[in-house]
Amino acid sequence: MSQVMTNVAGSSAYRIREVDGRDDEIVDILTELHRLTFFTGASVPPFDWGHWWLAYRETAPVAFAGVVPSTHVRNAGYFCRVGVLRRHWGHRLQLRLMRTVEARARRNGWSSLVSDTTGNVVSANNFIRAGYRMYRPPCPWAFPDTIYWHKAIALGASSHSTHSKRR
Helix, strand, or coil (residue 120): coil
Distances in Å between the Cα of 87 and the Cα atoms of 34, 66, 92 are 15, 21, 12
Helix, strand, or coil (residue 65): strand
CB 4 within 8 A of CB 34: no
* The model's pTM: 0.84
Q: What percent of the chain has pLDDT over 90?
A: 82
Which among 93, 153, 82, 88 is positioned nearest to 120, based on CA atoms?
82
12: confidence class by pLDDT, cuts 50, 70, 90: low
76: confidence class by pLDDT, cuts 50, 70, 90: very high
pLDDT average, residue stretch 67-80: 96
162: confidence class by pLDDT, cuts 50, 70, 90: very low
Alpha-carbon dihedral 71, 77, 80, 86, rounded to 10 degrees = -170
Domains defined for the chain, CATH in brackets:
14-152 (3.40.630.30)
Helix, strand, or coil (residue 102): helix
> 121-159: per-residue pLDDT in tens?
999 999 999 999 999 999 999 999 999 999 999 876 554
Alpha carbons 88 and 68: distance in angstroms, whole number: 25
